[in-house]
A and B are shown apart, each in its own frame.
Chain A
Amino acid sequence: MSIIPSGDGRIIFLDGGMGTQLQAKGLQPGEVPELWNLSHPADVRAVHEAYFAAGADIVYANTFGANSAKYHGNAPLADVIAAGIALAREAASGTNGRRFVALDVGPTGRLLKPAGDFEFDAAYDAFAEQVQIGAKAGADLVVIETMGDAYELKAAVLAAKENATLPILATVALGEDGKLLTGASVECVAALLEGLRVDALGFNCGFGPDRMLPFVKRLAAATSLPIAVKPNAGLPQVKDGRTVFTVGPEEFARDVAALADAGASIVGGCCGTTPAHIAAVQESLGCVLKAHSTVPPQPPRTVVTSGSRAVEIPFDDTIIIGERINPTGKKKLKAALAEGDVAYVLREAVAQSEAGAHILDVNVGVPGLDEPAVLDATVQAVQSVTDLPLQIDTSDPRALERTLRHYNGKALVNSVNGKEESMTAVLPLVAKYGGAVVALTLDETGIPPAAEGRVAIARKILARGAEYGLKPSDFVVDVLCLAVSADAQSANVILEAMRKVRTELGCRTCLGVSNISFGLPARPLLNAAFYTMALANGLSAGIVNPLAADMMTAFRAFRALTAKDRTCSNWIAAFTDWSPAMPVSSRLAASGTPSSAKPEAGNESALSASIRHGLKADAAAAAKTALEGGSKPLDVINKSIVPALETVGKGFESGRVFLPQLLMAAEAAGAAFDVVRSAMPAHDGAAVKGPIVIATVKGDIHDIGKNICRALLENYGFKVIDLGRDVPPERIVETARREKARLVGLSALMTTTVCFMEETVKLLHEKLPDCKVTVGGAVLTADYAAKIGADHYSKDAMGLVRYAELLFQ
């Protein structure tokens, strides 16, 4: 489909810069350009007329910043937009041939969460209002341009789709590194916009056409949609504090022609370009047929993205989907989800990412939990700490829709199955929000025992998907892993079904590998062996535990042995330090520096010394050695760990030890604690103290201080429920009540957010009179803390630990 009815077969021409043209006519810095639609209509119309005269098929109405989040003019938004569309329409009517008017939708000027504080839904609302007004005013299409954040781009496209039936052209502003401000790559943007089914996509602003060339080539390789380019007249240069553009019309036209050769079929200009630039482009490309058809079509790929990274689920290679954020059989995670302890989930996310996962599964299926709300919140939180795409794992369609909508990027959906109910609920959502979807080969009759039956269900799901416009490459088939202990043929059937899915349907596959060993001893060994077999039979994505060494070894070995890891560089990087006789404990110890672990005073234990020096691995090893040498767990804690922490804490308070060293010592103590705790029967003397609820207050997004407090408290043996940042008072109170917390710690960095701290303190005291509140943060003082009613002021993290120790004695 073309973005305009007459566009088939030839290049479509867009206009050039509007802002820089208005500046030349006297628009001042700080002025609202869209107000000129009302105050200087002749000037605005003249710009449009000049672009039509230069050969533009489409002009962008002067509505770039006309969204309620950005616009702060003194005339009603609706009037400004309607006048903008009308002026462009008037200019169009004065020309020969069919000319088109686009509603121009630019960014809100606000940064969305988690990078900023603006809600996705608020951005959507602002765009939706703009689109409704623009469509009513008679725009022929919607252009979304100069987007620097993939998440905001998604909000704008959804708003355009849901509030009008006009064609959509979406272009982003790349930096010189080929990425958006918030990090999305060209491939990431392409996958997102294709998934959202825009009509054309491309780049505008940023730099000149010469620098745009390599990125247009990459885009042409990543999309089958028409490509639009609207570069600046060169790189902006600052001259006497003013931005100027120096590339003239001829040079511009020559470089734009190269972009058309590379696949662009919709061309125009952005900042600094003039009617002369567009006339020159029209001159050189006016008779050229759409270049895009000369670029060979790309084989369909299966790509999912986060806000910044695209990951391909390959047909001829394999990737890892981390399975650990799934409460089934995981007590600690279940508890963390029930308590709203985000930090625990985030640590799982980061650990799997560091271990080498490519996609993370997120499942919050705990009975009694409000799954739509919790899944949505958890996915957003996980996205704030990892750039890996996520697999949204739920059987609740409401949870799926809410989460897919707010997901930053193009997600992998887990899952749809062959039941009518599932297909009807899930497939339209995948078609609407974009995404790839896992197809489970089961239906109303259960899981077919033979491979043929499973392939038949996959075929049925694909056919239903086609009705919604989904392609086979939008599916990843999971033929279902059943325990070999229950059915001796299970593994054989799985492998056969996977081969058939590849050859007969041309689909990628995924599999929850570790189910195979259910009910048998030595599960990790069996899992790794079966994983290798599945890989050899073409598994595209194993859903596995990336922290399990045997699985990662199987993955790396398979890739090295099948020429996927071509120079074996990944294998070498993973195993350079490997030696056959090295047990795990001594390997841990070797990663520290043994010399500094020597006890300095004759009677100080190696453990105490390791803690004082902040040597985490040494401390864990020393704790293990002490336990193996017969020391009682409680003695290790009370005679080594606690005194060492005490020494460091006093050193900090007297200024001899600095904060980083205090924290390193605390981390080492925490590692030793973990070793000792795992050797203790539950509810032994040194039970965990707490819980303490901590949060950065509403309105504040600075959480470094709070995070340091959490780390220190945990390493001093407290249980901490960390609610994150920008937390409303009600949620803090509710959590403290539910968890029966005796202490709440609040952090705020700015004078503008201390008011929310005061509000939170008041509410806590009102609702939970027995709960103490301690506050801290850059702008606070003891006096101020008292003034806002806090029970205690924590000068620093150590101060908080001291207060907590006193309270929980």
Chain B
Amino acid sequence: MTADLAEIARYMRMGRSVPDGELAERVTRLRDDALKAIRPAQAWRRFPIAEGAIASGGLRLEISGTLGRHLVGCQAACLACGTIGAGFDAFQRRASVSSGVDALIVQAIGAALIEKLMDRLEDEIRVSLDKGESLVSRYSPGYGDFPLAAQRVVLALLDAPRTVGVSLTDTLLMVPSKSVSAIIGITKG
């Protein structure tokens, strides 16, 4: 897994412009160091949707509001979580101490890498689908009116602290910081 300069540049808010010269060298060097610091991990699990919710083991994830509209017609969905690991955060803290430029670049590298990982995770799910099924785009707690508090349920149903090493802070932030959780609806036809 890696990310190229153009992808990283987008997360540095450089639009379509691609770094060159000294900036390109710095991005490449930090990217290569970052790749040594990451430890990607992913988990997903398929659940039926019944009565407007995913329910298991006494936990319940309401599928309503904007999420309900996004998943309209889906009778099942996958919960998924991916992370590039705590080592990346340590690398980012180190890189941020002495240089604001490095801080910015490393944060962009992390964003590009976790996006790659989630795409890969979706591909893995896609392979497991039955004939005629397809995925709708992924939707994360905090989008629209899907409450951030739903993180607790999503991560508990995936046993995420144990399976991928992702947990929540008291303020519902995922740690390691470059982690994504999502619900991905499955439609038929």
A116 within 8 A of B: yes
Known: A660-B105, A699-B170, A751-B148. A29 touches B157 (CB 8 A): yes
Could you say which residues of chain A place their CB within 8 Å of the CB of B169? 111, 116-118, 699, 701
Chain A contacts with B in 778-809, Cβ cutoff 8 A: 797
Could you say which residues of chain A place their CB within 8 Å of the CB of B12? 658-660
B29 within 8 A of A: no
B140 within 8 A of A: no
> When the two chains form the complex, which single residue of B94, B107, B157 contacts A385, counting CB atoms closer than 8 Å?
B94
Interface residues as binary, B85-103 with A (CB distance below 8 Å gives 1, 0 otherwise): 1110110111011111101
Cβ B57 vs Cβ A667 within 8 A: no
* Chain A residues within 8 Å of chain B by Cβ, number: 72
A613 to B22: give the CA distance in the assembly, Å. Answer: 9
User: Please, which residue of chain A has its CB at the minimum distance from the CB of B166?
Assistant: A111
B165 within 8 A of A: yes
User: Please, which residue of chain B has its CB at the minimum distance from the CB of A148?
Assistant: B165
How many whole Å from B175's CB to the nearest CB in chain A?
A: 4
Could you say which residues of chain B place their CB within 8 Å of the CB of A38? none
Chain A contacts with B in 97-114, Cβ cutoff 8 A: 107, 109-111, 114
A710 to B98: give the CA distance in the assembly, Å. Answer: 10
A659 to B12: give the CA distance in the assembly, Å. Answer: 7
Cβ B56 vs Cβ A708 within 8 A: no
A615 to B157: give the CA distance in the assembly, Å. Answer: 50
One of A177-185, A480-488, A569-577, A769-777 at the interface: A177-185
How many whole Å from B55's CB to the nearest CB in chain A?
A: 8
Could you say which residues of chain B place their CB within 8 Å of the CB of A15? none
Cβ A115 vs Cβ B161 within 8 A: no
Could you say which residues of chain A place their CB within 8 Å of the CB of B39? 175, 177, 179, 181
A146 within 8 A of B: yes
> When the two chains form the complex, which single residue of B89, B94, B172 contacts A386, counting CB atoms closer than 8 Å?
B94
One of A237-245, A284-292, A538-546, A673-681 at the interface: A237-245
Known: A109-B167, A175-B39, A181-B165. A658 touches B97 (CB 8 A): no
User: Please, which residue of chain A has its CB at the minimum distance from the CB of B55?
Assistant: A30
A351 within 8 A of B: yes
Interface residues as binary, B55-70 with A (CB distance below 8 Å gives 1, 0 otherwise): 0111100000000000
A387 to B89: give the CA distance in the assembly, Å. Answer: 12
Cβ A241 vs Cβ B45 within 8 A: yes
A109 to B159: give the CA distance in the assembly, Å. Answer: 9
Known: A29-B45, A660-B23, A699-B169. A384 touches B93 (CB 8 A): yes
B81 within 8 A of A: no
Cβ A704 vs Cβ B104 within 8 A: yes
Cβ B162 vs Cβ A663 within 8 A: no
Could you say which residues of chain A place their CB within 8 Å of the CB of B125? 241
B46 within 8 A of A: yes
* Chain B residues within 8 Å of chain A by Cβ, number: 61
How many whole Å from A583's CB to the nearest CB in chain B?
A: 23
Most-contacted residue by chain A among B45, B92, B161, B170 (CB, 10 A):
B161
Could you say which residues of chain B place their CB within 8 Å of the CB of A603? none
Cβ B22 vs Cβ A615 within 8 A: yes
One of A342-350, A392-400, A446-454 at the interface: A342-350
Cβ A146 vs Cβ B170 within 8 A: no
Interface residues as binary, B31-74 with A (CB distance below 8 Å gives 1, 0 otherwise): 00000000100011110000000001111000000000000000
> When the two chains form the complex, which single residue of A30, A177, A181 contacts B156, counting CB atoms closer than 8 Å?
A30
Cβ B21 vs Cβ A242 within 8 A: no
Could you say which residues of chain B place their CB within 8 Å of the CB of A241? 44-46, 78, 125, 128
A175 to B103: give the CA distance in the assembly, Å. Answer: 27
Could you say which residues of chain A place their CB within 8 Å of the CB of B92? 704
Could you say which residues of chain B place their CB within 8 Å of the CB of A118? 169
Could you say which residues of chain B place their CB within 8 Å of the CB of A596? 21
A171 within 8 A of B: no
Could you say which residues of chain A place their CB within 8 Å of the CB of B168? 110
User: Please, which residue of chain B has its CB at the minimum distance from the CB of A752?
Assistant: B171
Most-contacted residue by chain A among B19, B93, B156, B172 (CB, 10 A):
B93
Interface residues as binary, B1-39 with A (CB distance below 8 Å gives 1, 0 otherwise): 000000000001111010101110000000000000001
A256 within 8 A of B: no
A312 within 8 A of B: no
Cβ A30 vs Cβ B58 within 8 A: yes
Could you say which residues of chain B place their CB within 8 Å of the CB of A114? 90, 93
User: Please, which residue of chain A has its CB at the minimum distance from the CB of B129?
Assistant: A240
Cβ B165 vs Cβ A704 within 8 A: no
Cβ B14 vs Cβ A660 within 8 A: yes
A242 to B56: give the CA distance in the assembly, Å. Answer: 14
Cβ A111 vs Cβ B86 within 8 A: yes
Chain A contacts with B in 556-606, Cβ cutoff 8 A: 592-593, 596
B173 within 8 A of A: yes
A31 within 8 A of B: yes
A49 within 8 A of B: no
Cβ A109 vs Cβ B94 within 8 A: no
Cβ A708 vs Cβ B57 within 8 A: no
A596 to B162: give the CA distance in the assembly, Å. Answer: 51
Could you say which residues of chain B place their CB within 8 Å of the CB of A715? 100
How many whole Å from A798's CB to the nearest CB in chain B?
A: 12
Could you say which residues of chain B place their CB within 8 Å of the CB of A592? 22
Cβ A115 vs Cβ B104 within 8 A: no
B187 within 8 A of A: no
Interface residues as binary, A140-175 with B (CB distance below 8 Å gives 1, 0 otherwise): 000000101100000000000000000000000001
> When the two chains form the complex, which single residue of B23, B46, B107, B167 contacts A111, counting CB atoms closer than 8 Å?
B167
Cβ B103 vs Cβ A752 within 8 A: no
Cβ B100 vs Cβ A111 within 8 A: no
A323 to B168: give the CA distance in the assembly, Å. Answer: 37
A797 to B100: give the CA distance in the assembly, Å. Answer: 10
Cβ B99 vs Cβ A753 within 8 A: no
B134 within 8 A of A: no
Could you say which residues of chain B place their CB within 8 Å of the CB of A666? 100
Cβ A704 vs Cβ B103 within 8 A: yes
Cβ A240 vs Cβ B46 within 8 A: yes
Cβ A667 vs Cβ B101 within 8 A: yes
Chain A contacts with B in 23-49, Cβ cutoff 8 A: 27-32
How many whole Å from A201's CB to the nearest CB in chain B?
A: 20
Known: A109-B161, A182-B86, A385-B97. A750 touches B167 (CB 8 A): no
How many whole Å from A68's CB to the nearest CB in chain B?
A: 14
A255 within 8 A of B: no
Could you say which residues of chain B place their CB within 8 Å of the CB of A110? 161, 167-168
Cβ A707 vs Cβ B85 within 8 A: no
How many whole Å from A251's CB to the nearest CB in chain B?
A: 24
Known: A343-B97, A703-B96, A712-B100. A661 touches B172 (CB 8 A): no
Could you say which residues of chain A place their CB within 8 Å of the CB of B19? 660
User: Please, which residue of chain B has its CB at the minimum distance from the CB of A239?
Assistant: B128
How many whole Å from B95's CB to the nearest CB in chain A?
A: 9
Cβ B96 vs Cβ A29 within 8 A: no
How many whole Å from A716's CB to the nearest CB in chain B?
A: 11
B75 within 8 A of A: no
Could you say which residues of chain B place their CB within 8 Å of the CB of A30? 56-59, 153, 156-157
Chain A contacts with B in 746-766, Cβ cutoff 8 A: 750-753
Cβ A663 vs Cβ B13 within 8 A: no
25 contacts between A and B (CB under 8 A): A28-B58, A29-B56, A29-B158, A30-B157, A110-B167, A115-B89, A117-B173, A146-B162, A148-B165, A175-B39, A181-B85, A238-B124, A385-B97, A387-B90, A596-B21, A614-B22, A658-B17, A660-B104, A660-B105, A664-B101, A703-B96, A704-B92, A704-B107, A712-B100, A751-B142
The 10 closest A-B pairs by CB, nearest first: A711-B100, A31-B57, A30-B57, A28-B57, A30-B59, A109-B161, A241-B46, A117-B169, A116-B175, A699-B171
Write the residues of chain B forming the contact surface with A, with a CB cutoff of 8 angstroms.
12-15, 17, 19, 21-23, 39, 43-46, 56-59, 78, 85-87, 89-90, 92-94, 96-101, 103-105, 107, 124-125, 128, 142, 148, 153, 156-159, 161-163, 165, 167-173, 175-177
Given contacts A115-B176, A183-B86, A658-B17, 10 further A-B contacts (CB under 8 A): A28-B56, A29-B56, A31-B58, A111-B169, A116-B167, A241-B125, A347-B97, A349-B97, A701-B173, A708-B100
